[in-house]
Every structure is written in C-alpha cells, then in structure tokens.
Amino acid sequence: MDNILITGAASGIGAATARLFHSRGWTVGLLDINHHDLADLASELGGVWHAELDVADPDAVQVALADFCALHGGQLRLLFNCAGRMCSGHFGEVALAEQVRVVQVNVLGVLNMSHAAFPYLKATSNAQVINMGSASAVYGVPYLASYSASKFAVRGLTEALELEWGAHGIRVGDLMPPFVATPMLASQHFEAPIKRRLGVRLQARDIAEAVWQQAQGAALHRPVSLRFKLLYWAAQLAPTWINRLIMSRLSRE
C-alpha cells in the first residue's frame, strides 16, 4: 500500500491533501506543530498516525521519520513538504524574528525533512518528494520578500535534488501555485498589492488535486491554475527586465 507523510497537515493545503489521499486508499501520516487540530484531523480520518512536530528541529524530525517509517518496513513512498509560514508587509517594518521564522520553516524545514527521509525514500520503489513551492519563486515579490526568498530556496533545492536523487530512483518536484485561500493567507494583516490585483482564485482542495497529479506523474515544477501556467511559461521565455517590469506594476501601492 502506498504511504504519504505530510508536514503542515493540520489545516489548509496539508489537511486537504491528507483527506484526498486517504479517500483514495493511501496510508497517511500527519505532522504539524499545531497538535490540537492535527489530532482532530487524525481522528476524522479514522485514527491515522500523527505526531506534533516543529520541522525546524532536526532531532525531532529524525525521530518522527523513524517512527512513521518503522510502521511501513522502513519505506516511504511520498514525502510532501507542505509546512509553511508567510509574513507580508514592508520589509523594514516586519519584525526580523518573524522573517527568520519564515526561513526556518520554509527552508530549514524542507532541508531537515528531506535529509532525514532520504534513506527511507532510497529503500522504496517509485519514491517521491513533493515540495510546496510558490508562484513567488518566479520573480522576487515586494512586500512578501522573505516568503518569496524562501520559495526561491525551495525551488533551487528541488532542482538540485531532482538531478542528484534521480540516480537513486527518487523523483523530486515542486508545486507553484499563486495565492491560495488558506488560514495562513487569511492571517496576514497586510495585503500585498499583487494579491489585491491578482485575487485569490484557488482553494486548498485545488492544490491537493495537484499533489495527486504530481504523485501520478512527476514534473520538476508544476504551476497550478491555467492562468498561472500561461504566466509561468511566458516568464521562462521573457528577458529578466520584462519580468521585473511586470512585477513592478503588479506590486505598486
């Protein structure tokens, strides 16, 4: 039976993905720092395996991976690095500690989880890592500077591991959606101008479906939504100055 381990599983995209994969017969493991909501979801899904975890804690990550994979013969079919944080606002006015935490969760969390998962993935046929990327990794986004930078790091790690781990039969890719209606986005007190102009057109379940598609046939980068797919591929072909101009206009206050 296929198994999937999901970080950031207590709400939003992680929870939607857990529900979808569970409904389609996969064995699901749930990780999140929010133990209360995580336990509620685990109960909803029939008592699936779950553990409270701060993905920025490498020792705790090692323990969580070992505990989950021990239940499955030391194998891990799919790791979904979904845990994430966001802070929006004028860069110089957002507390440094808040921005550091974004990097800890979005970057170090993915590093910690991927590194700890490697031996289990290597021991599993058709193993895969899916990282939660973002449309903000196409060009740096003003008023989302730390978040955007963290997603560029995720993109770079994804590209590197896709090449390196291919030798071990491990597929690596990321999802690149624009704004998604999640509790994380709703919690932001500052609305970035680009969000106001582009709007929020995706729900968590849309991204869960993209995770499912990625699990069936991996792409290195999977832009989500037809509108952003067109923008993404146009950005790959356009010179940097055009991408800068577009971002400048989308982000003006």
DSSP per residue over 5-63, as a string? EEESTTSHHHHHHHHHHHHTT-EEEEEES-HHHHHHHHHHTTS-EEEE--TT-HHHHHH
Question: The pTM is what?
Answer: 0.94
Q: Which fold has domain 3-250?
A: Rossmann fold (3.40.50)
CA-based diameter of the chain, in Å? 54
Question: 30 to each of 11, 18, 145, how far by Cα in Å?
Answer: 11, 8, 29
In degrees, rounded to 5, the angle at the alpha carbon of residue 135 between the alpha carbons of residues 241 and 7 is 150
Residue 118 predicted with pLDDT over 90: yes
Residue 241 predicted with pLDDT over 90: no
Give Cα 7 to chain centroid, integer Å: 8
Residues 6 or more apart whose Cβ sits within 8 Å of residue 58? 112, 115, 116
Q: Which residue type occupies 106?
A: N
What pLDDT is attached to residue 78?
A: 98
Catalytic residues: 147
Burial per residue of 30-44, b for 16 or more beta-carbon CB atoms within 10 angstroms, e otherwise: bbbbeeeebbebbee
- Sign, Cα dihedral of 30, 4, 153, 107: positive
At 244, list the tokens. Answer: 């800068």
Residue 23 predicted with pLDDT over 90: yes
In this prediction, residue 242 has a pLDDT band, given cuts at 50, 70 and 90, of confident
Segment 33-73, tens digit of pLDDT: 999 999 999 999 999 999 999 999 999 999 999 999 999 99
